[in-house]
Chain A
Amino acid sequence: MAEANLTISKELAEKIRAHGAETYPHECCGALLGKDSDPREILGLFPLVNRRDDSPRNRFSVTSQDVLDADKAARQQGLDVVGWYHSHPDHPARPSQYDRDHAWPWYSYIIVSVAEGKPQDMTSWRLNDDREAFSPEGIDIQQNATV
């Protein structure tokens, strides 16, 4: 399978990184709103509250109502929820087994690493259709996007 790619404006990429820094040492999370074109375009964000009160430093979850709210926000902008982002505090921006166990196919999963409160690498992944692994997804950060 060819490597999929997505585009995002520098502004939105910085917002994801800032969200990760803001919630550090807890994980942040939110929805990626955009269009499933080729390449997939991220055109908006829908930041969410991490509902994992019991272990927010190494886990995140959102409720089905959060998912419905994100879907509604996307539709109002003529967009779709095309993925999700979250942070890995003091941990590499690579998906964990736990990420894979809970992932859906098709969605883009952006992970930002946050080390000692400062955002570091940002990566994106898609679950393979057989659920056995994630494939990396290239992120094209647009410097002069008008979004």
Chain B
Amino acid sequence: MPVKVIIPTPLRVFAAKHDSAEFPAESVGEALSKLTTEFGELRKHLYTEDGKLRSFVNVYVNDEDIRYLGKEETPVKDGDVVSIVPSIAGGLS
């Protein structure tokens, strides 16, 4: 059973309207890489131009924030659920 990646509502339009996708992967980074390879339009919304996850993109493995695990190198196993959860921010300047 592969890893399931949950795609947040605002990004589904760039993923053929899928709400999730499944990939064999051994790390969070590998799962996200396969996601953005399959759906190339997602890349600019998840990653900066120098290839880092955008600061307002939060990624969870099951219910754990990968910032407190191994970041993108966090290992995943079959059946894990990787969720992409938006942070919302803004302001007048």
Which listed segment binds B: A1-9, A10-18, A53-61, A116-124? A53-61
Q: Is the interface of B mostly helix, strand, loop or mixed?
A: mixed
Q: How many A-B contacts are there with CB distance less than 8 Å?
A: 91
10 shortest A-B CB distances, which residue pairs?
A59-B91, A106-B10, A61-B89, A99-B90, A91-B92, A102-B89, A88-B92, A64-B58, A104-B10, A64-B85
Kindly provide the distance from the CB of A110 to the nearest chain B CB, expressed in whole angstroms: 11
B11 to chain A: which residues have CB within 8 Å?
A: 104-106
Kindly provide the distance from the CB of A22 to the nearest chain B CB, expressed in whole angstroms: 17
Q: What are 23 sample pairs from A and B whose C-beta atoms fall under 8 A apart?
A: A29-B88, A58-B93, A59-B89, A59-B93, A61-B89, A67-B86, A68-B85, A84-B90, A89-B92, A95-B90, A96-B91, A96-B92, A96-B93, A98-B89, A98-B91, A99-B91, A102-B87, A104-B56, A104-B88, A105-B14, A106-B9, A130-B44, A131-B45
